[in-house]
Amino acid sequence: MLETQTCTCPQGYTVTGQVVKDKKGREVLKFTFERADCETCPRFTSCVHAKKTGRTVTTHAHEALLQQARVRHQRVEGFKALYNPRSAVERIIGELVYHGLRQTRYIGERKRRLQRLWTAAAVNLKRLFALAQANHIDLEAAITALA
């Protein structure tokens, strides 16, 4: 919470923030959780990336404005209907970026387009295999049946 300058993790630990400067010299709040508290958490491996400290959270210089905009936007009629598909699309875009879609290795629009298509195909296959595994589908039998 910005008003109280505190941050609470999903496990219920609360810390007080310190005012520090970001790279552009603007004041931001930095919250650092104790490593001992983080190590007892079941989310430790996915949440903490530092070697010596616990989870660190830093606010944006314009965090108060961003929070106001979020609240205002979420009150708009039909927000949930628009947001649900958007979050799914953003996950897919994030996965494509993770697999190198943001930068291409090649020069020339045709080669860059080919790389984007191959990346998208690879991600689609990865998602298809994960879906098949989750639904316990025998892919070899399914491919044989299609042939």
What is the edge-to-edge ordering of all strands in the sheet holding 18-21? Answer: 18-21, 27-32, 56-58
| Range from 7-11, 78-82, 91-95 carrying the lowest mean pLDDT | 78-82
Domain boundaries, the chain: 6-69, 77-146
Q: In one letter, which amino acid is 44?
A: F
Segment 102-137, tens digit of pLDDT: 888 888 999 999 999 999 999 999 988 888 888 877
Q: Which two tokens stand for residue 110?
A: 């045709």
Segment 27-74, tens digit of pLDDT: 999 999 988 888 888 888 888 888 888 899 999 989 988 988 888 888
